[in-house]
Structure formats: C-alpha cells, structure tokens
Structure 1
Amino acid sequence: MTDQPDILCIGSVLWDIIGRSPSTLRLGSDVPGRISRLPGGVAMNIAATLARFGLRPSVLTVIGTDAEGEDLVAACKPLGVGTDHAYRSPDLPTDRYMAIEGGGGLIAAIADAHSLEAAGDKILQPLADGALGSADTPWAGPVALDGNLTQALLAQIADSPLFAAADLRVAPASPGKAERLLPLLSHPRATLYLNLEEAGLLCQEHFADSRAAAEALLTRGARRVLVTDGGKPCSDGSPLGILSHQPPEVMVRRVTGAGDTFMAAHIVAETRGARRGEALRRALESAADYVSAEVG
C-alpha cells in the first residue's frame, strides 16, 4: 500500500443545493437570495476542510456513474479530496441535499442519501481487500465517520476488526440521526462530536449546557465527547476531565457545514500535536471564521 491518504472520511459525499437569503423567513416566504450547488455531505465537508489545512483525505462513499456523479468526482479533485476508493455504482443515483437558510439560520433541509444507505458495506471494501487495509493489517490512522450511514452499518463498524486500530472520529449527520450513533457510544477508540440537541437525543434527556451534556455522555460510557452549543461554551469531555471554551462572537452568515468545519479543524489540530485546550480553541475559531464568511 503506497501513497496512502492521511485520513479516511466515511459517509455522505453529494451535491449540496443551498438557498440563502439574509431575510427573516416564515412559511410561504418568497424572497431574493442566492442558490448554490457545491460538493457537500458530512464526509465531504470534513474532507474538504482537512485538505484546506494541508492533510490528504480520501472518501469512502458511493457516487453514481451518472452525469451528476461525474461532475462531483471532477469537483472533488481541485478541493484536494481523493475519490479513488469511492464505490462507483451504475445502479444508484448520486445523492443530494437541499436546504433553505434565512437571516435566523437554517429553515428546513432535506437529505436524499438513499444511495449511501443502499450501498451499505460495499463502501468499506478498500479496508478489507488490501487497498487501505485488511482484517489482519487494519487501517491504523484517523477515520471520520458520519451518521448518514445506517445504524446497522455503524453497528457493524463498531465490532469490525477492520477498525480495530483506527482513531474513530464520529459525528451525526443531523439531530434526527443522532440515535444511530448508539452502537459507537462506548467504543474504546471513538470520539463523538455532537451539538447540544444531538447529545440530548442520544441520552434521551434535556441538557442546560454543553458541560452537563458531556458529563452525561461520559457517564453512559463514552470515551471522549465534544459538545457544541452555537455561540455558547463548547465542552470537551474525557476521563481527564471536562474543558469548556467560549466561541468567538461573530456575525453568522451561514450555518450548513459549521459542525463539519469544527470537527475537521479539531482533528487537524490534534494531528499536529495540539493539547486539548488549544485544539478546542482552534476548532472554535475555524468554525467562527466559516459561519461569518461572506457567501458568494
């Protein structure tokens, strides 16, 4: 195995179709704004951010052989995201995500990730056939997992020898999919990245702040968790204790992809040797830069 990537990002790689307006939106609103189509998906967003910070990510996902899939593969290349190990299916269309964002943040979104769910463990084949590893010599680097994978596949990953040596970094794709992470909650090599709502859904409990959520997740067996809460303090919980840090105060111009940016920046900081507190600070600053950036 030569020319290996620095990190694997496993999950959704699709087209993000995002409509944004600075106006406050309500049901039935018809307002001017901008509509963009960009490579997206949790795994893709994380991979693109990792690449911007100088790492070499590769995605394990499904991408159709349709015109949208060919366009998506072509769009990934200049972003520094490797697609050589992606499962290319002639029978499954390329997935898509559509969202509407207004002045107050995300209004609504629909994720059409049915092809990823249908592909199942086919996307993991490079970890078994020697391309990236095998059961006898498993991948030993970092892996970013996203919750768009089915709960059955996440449970399979939790018990699989293919991931026995990996540093698992796990994030739900959305609050509605947070409970899919239950099989990985107590995994001895997993770090979970959650927002406050997702932490509450995973624990079936309401939390007043990120520190309380981190404490509860650790009590339930988590090895390590990072819990964000928008502009309020974020907490990093582990057996070493809980650290909390206040995000920078910025003008929010976009929200889709903010959590993925936070996770990627945190992974990069720790990969480069940053201590827990410094890694948390850098991740929050990167997320703040992302949400406050002008959107063309």
Structure 2
Amino acid sequence: MTQREQEIIAIIRENPFVSQQEIADALSITRSSVAVHITNLIKKGIIRGRGYVVDERDHVSVIGGANMDIMGYPFTTLRRGDSNPGQVSLSLGGVGRNIAENLARLGVNTKLFTVVGNDIYGDKIIQDSLKTGIDMSHVLKINDLGTGTYLAILNGENDMDVAIASMDIFSRLDEKYLEDNQGIISKSQAIVFDTNLEEKVLTFGVNLFQDNDLYLDTVSHTKALRAKKIIGKFHTIKPNRLEAEALSGIKITGRGDLDQAATYFHREGVRNVIITLGEEGVYYSDGKSTGILKAEKVIPKNATGAGDAFQAALVYANLEGMEIRDKLIFSMGASLLAMDSYDTINKEMSTANIQKIIKNLEVTSC
C-alpha cells in the first residue's frame, strides 16, 4: 500500500462509516482523490464495500525453504574434473526465503514459514532475514538436523552448471507446523508455496488455505510434480517449459502447445499461467489475453536468484492490481535487477529501481 492508502485505512479503522468528504478534510486532499484511493483499495481487496469494512489480511505468507547458499565462481571457463581458480561466496538462500526477502524489499509485509537447524547457519538465516524486513517470528528451529545447504558451481557465464542441495530438514516442515500456524497464515493477502515441501504436506497446506490466493513456485522439474494433483487450486503458477510439460502432460514445442497447456491449467482452475522459456522469453495467459514477452539478452553477474525475484514481483504486481502484461514486464524488470548482483538477492531490489529498468527496457511481443 502507498503511504496515503495507509493513512486512509487508519481513518476507516476508527470509523468504518466515515464519508469520503470527512476523509478528504482530515487529510487535506480533495474528495475525488479519496474516491480514487478507495477504489484502488477495493480492487486490492483491502477494504470491502460500504461501510468500508477493512480486511485484516495485511501480509503475504511464504511457505518453503530457507538455507545457506555456497556459490563457486570460476575466473575463466569452467573445467570439469579439475580444480578451477575462482572465488567462493556464502549467502542466505532457499526459494521460499529468497521470495520473502524480495517481497520485503518491495515493501510488502512478509512472513516466512520455514524450518532451520539450531546451528550457526540457522541463526544467521534468522538474524540476517530480520534485518531485511522479513517477519521470522514463526520459523521453526530444531536441534537434530542441520540447516539446509545449497552448493552451486557456476560456469564462465555465471550461470549454474551443477549443484547439490542438502535439504533433509524440510521433512520437518509438516502438517502439524502448518496447523499450528493456521490462524496467521489464513489471514494472508496471498500465500506462496514452494515445492520444497513434501507432496503430502503441500497437498495438506493447499487444501487448508484454499480460500486464499495461492501462488506456486515449482523449484525444479522433479519437485514440480508434487503439485500435479492439486495444480488447479493455485491462483498463479510460474513453471518453466519442462515443468509445465510435466504438470500438464503436454509436450511444448511451439506457441500452439503453450496455448494448449495454458488452456489445460485454466480448466483445472488456475487463474494466471506464466511459463518461462529462457532466452525465448516468457509466455502468459489469464484466460482472456495471451502472449510471449521477450527482453534483450544480458550477461548476468549471477542468475541463480532471478526466478525468485520474478516470483516475488508477480505477487507484488497482483496485489497492486496490475494487468497481466504489466505484471510480466514488472517481473521481468525485477529479474534483470536480480541478475545485476553477485549475491542471490540484489540489495538494491526496490519498486523504484525496477521502474528505472522498465523505463529503458526493450520488450518485444511474440
């Protein structure tokens, strides 16, 4: 929400039957300006009709992985089976945690629901995430398993060549944990699931919160299959081509196949279908409009966090009531900003910096 919208909400909470003119007088603005803000707040689902009942769903919940990322960068072309001169960095990671940090940096009130070990990595994840603005008060900390770790070796173009994910701890992100936090999660404006959750837990969580707008981050081809039986319960999905094939059962080789896959997902119940196509761009469909958007190719400093930034921006854009094409452009801007950093999360991530990128972004429709 904007600062002005927050001021209007504060007045409405005091008096749900306050008139638009009374709000205008209190804030020293015109009644017509108040009417525009009220309309936007209704579109965003923050207030519901006359007399301006405030929907207390004021945050986004992210349910998924949090781990430490260890990244190896070769100075030159990566040589397999050899010791490569380069550098190694250590940073906070995990798909869910990365999405949560990007959301927080975009100004969204964000709560993370995950599990970490009672170790130095777990402490660092909690403390450093708090500094970025994520609410970590509901994170589960356990003693008998270590915090998740993701080890990646990048190639000469700073894209991932091979990686190992040590994620046994996420078996503790279970049904009981979701039930224990049901009250606060159910009050979310939106809920993002990543597929680091085991299939039975993901299914349980999606059914538990089916009255909310649910977003899916597929994480990987293998893990995406955990959502296959419940795919229609998601508001927005963002698989890549291979993941979309696995979830729909449709081989995707061209535009017609993309449309067919989107039709399948819409029939299942998905509202927004986003399929990333690598260098070929991003396909989108909301059941009314479809297309492929493509931006100019860039050489990333680090591409590993681009998808997480894209996902967070999609959630933000939807909360702001953007049309689907504008959502895609905004999310592509976030992805490009993410890649302009050696860290998994670009510390300069913000709506203002995304808008700067979009202003100069050459996007073609296919």
* Counterpart for residue 239 of structure 1: 287
Aligned-partner Cα distance in 1 for 2:190–2:308: 15
Aligned-partner Cα distance in 2 for 1:93–1:254: 26
Aligned-partner Cα distance in 1 for 2:276–2:325: 14
Letter in 1 for 2:181: L
* Counterpart for residue 287 of structure 1: 335
CA shift, 1:4, in A, is 7.4
CA shift, 1:117, in A, is 1.8
* Counterpart for residue 119 of structure 1: 173
Aligned-partner Cα distance in 2 for 1:210–1:13: 35
Query: Residue 286 of structure 1: SS of its match in structure 2?
Result: helix
Aligned-partner Cα distance in 1 for 2:154–2:232: 35
Q: Which entry has the higher C-alpha Rg, 1 or 2?
A: 2
Aligned-partner Cα distance in 2 for 1:283–1:295: 18
2:91 counterpart of 1:38: yes
Aligned counterpart in structure 2 of residue 64 of structure 1, from 117, 125, 129? 117
Aligned counterpart in structure 2 of residue 15 of structure 1, from 46, 68, 75? 68
Q: Is the 8 A contact 1:62 1:123 kept in 2?
A: no
- Identity, in percent, stands at 26
Aligned-partner Cα distance in 1 for 2:57–2:91: 26
Letter in 1 for 2:120: A
Aligned-partner Cα distance in 2 for 1:177–1:53: 27
CA shift, 1:217, in A, is 4.2
Q: Is the 8 A contact 2:91 2:343 kept in 1?
A: no
* Counterpart for residue 190 of structure 1: 235
Aligned-partner Cα distance in 1 for 2:109–2:246: 33
Deviations 1:102-142 (A, max 9, x none): 124211111111111233224314433x3x15xxxx33410
Aligned-partner Cα distance in 2 for 1:247–1:52: 23
Matches within 5 A, 1:105-116: 105-116=159-170
Letter in 2 for 1:218: T
CA RMSD of aligned residues (A): 2.3
* Counterpart for residue 181 of structure 1: 227
Query: Residue 298 of structure 2: SS of its match in structure 1?
Result: coil
Aligned-partner Cα distance in 1 for 2:150–2:259: 30
Letter in 1 for 2:243: E
Matches within 5 A, 1:1-296: 6-104=59-157, 105-128=159-182, 130=183, 132=184, 138-160=186-208, 163-187=209-233, 189-209=234-254, 212-213=257-258, 215-220=260-265, 221-223=268-270, 224-294=272-342
Aligned-partner Cα distance in 1 for 2:173–2:315: 27
Which moved further from structure 2: 62-71 or 117-126? 117-126
CA shift, 1:29, in A, is 3.4
CA shift, 1:46, in A, is 0.4
Give TM-score scaled by structure 1 length.
0.88
Which moved further from structure 2: 196-205 or 57-66? 196-205
Letter in 1 for 2:323: R
Q: Is the 8 A contact 1:258 1:287 kept in 2?
A: yes
Letter in 1 for 2:279: G
| Alpha-carbon distance change, 217 to 211 in structure 1, aligned in 2, over 3 angstroms | same
| Alpha-carbon distance change, 63 to 122 in structure 1, aligned in 2, over 3 angstroms | farther
Deviations 1:151-175 (A, max 9, x none): 1111112322xx1321111011222
Aligned-partner Cα distance in 2 for 1:60–1:123: 9
Letter in 1 for 2:123: E
Q: Is the 8 A contact 2:248 2:264 kept in 1?
A: no
Deviations 1:5-38 (A, max 9, x none): 6211100011111112253224213222221111
Aligned-partner Cα distance in 1 for 2:87–2:255: 33
Aligned length: 285
Structure 2 unaligned segments of length 5 or more: list them.
1-55, 345-366
Query: Residue 185 of structure 1: SS of its match in structure 2?
Result: helix
CA shift, 1:207, in A, is 1.5
Runs of 4+ in structure 1 off by over 6 angstroms are none
Aligned-partner Cα distance in 2 for 1:86–1:268: 23
| Alpha-carbon distance change, 277 to 256 in structure 1, aligned in 2, over 3 angstroms | same
CA shift, 1:238, in A, is 2.4
Query: Residue 251 of structure 2: SS of its match in structure 1?
Result: coil
Q: Is the 8 A contact 2:173 2:197 kept in 1?
A: no
Q: Is the 8 A contact 2:68 2:125 kept in 1?
A: yes
